């Protein structure tokens, strides 16, 4: 799968990992501090699954869920390992790469996964955040 950022970079989705934000929650809802810890640890958690690569976390919006009666983040955490062209202003390499972590309520529903990824990261400043890699 490939996606195009607003700045023109064409990226290839190499692999991805999806897990539930509330997996392991036995009863009730996590408080704001617990949700913040979960968000802040997302880089390390996804590196352990997708590889030890540079990682960028797009913070989710916390919103009030009227059905559940609580403030919550989206249901799913998604990590994608992306590869793109070499970034000219950085050290030489054969390409650039980055793990991007974002959150979504419905990654398996109405849209294709590449559309969900593109929607989440289309404004990403790839040149600033990604790093070049060499073989």
What would you report as the CA-atom Rg of the chain, rounded to the nearest whole angstrom? 16
Q: Are strands 2-4 and 76-84 parallel, antiparallel or unpaired?
A: unpaired
Specify whether the backbone of 118 is left (phi greater than 0), alpha (psi in -120 to 50) or beta: alpha
Query: pTM here?
Result: 0.88
CB half-sphere exposure, 68, CA atoms < 13 A: 13
Q: Which two tokens stand for residue 71?
A: 């403030």
Q: Which residue in this structure is represented by tokens 């030489």?
A: 92
The SS3 assignment for 86 reads coil
* pLDDT tens track, the chain, 135 positions: 888 999 888 999 999 999 998 877 767 777 888 899 999 999 999 999 999 999 999 999 998 989 888 888 998 999 999 999 988 878 788 899 999 999 998 777 767 777 888 889 999 999 999 999 987
Which distant-in-sequence residues (6+ apart) come within 8 Å of 134 by Cβ? 92, 93, 94
Domain boundaries, the chain: 2-133
Q: How far is Cα of residue 115 from the mean position of the Cα atoms in its chain?
A: 13
Closest CA to 78 of 15, 30, 36, 5: 15
């Amino acid at each position: 799968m490939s996606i195009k950022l607003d700045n023109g970079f064409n990226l290839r989705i190499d692999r991805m990992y999806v897990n539930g934000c509330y997996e392991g929650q036995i009863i009730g809802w996590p408080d704001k501090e617990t949700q913040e810890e979960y968000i802040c640890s997302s880089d390390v958690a996804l590196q352990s699954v997708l590889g030890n690569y540079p990682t960028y976390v797009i913070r989710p919006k916390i919103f009030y869920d009227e059905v559940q009666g609580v403030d919550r983040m989206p249901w799913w955490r998604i990590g994608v390992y992306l590869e793109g062209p070499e970034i000219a202003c950085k050290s030489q390499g054969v390409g650039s790469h980055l793990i991007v972590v974002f959150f979504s309520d419905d990654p398996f529903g109405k849209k294709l996964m590449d559309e969900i990824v593109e929607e989440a990261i289309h404004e990403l400043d790839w040149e600033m955040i990604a790093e070049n890699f060499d073989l």
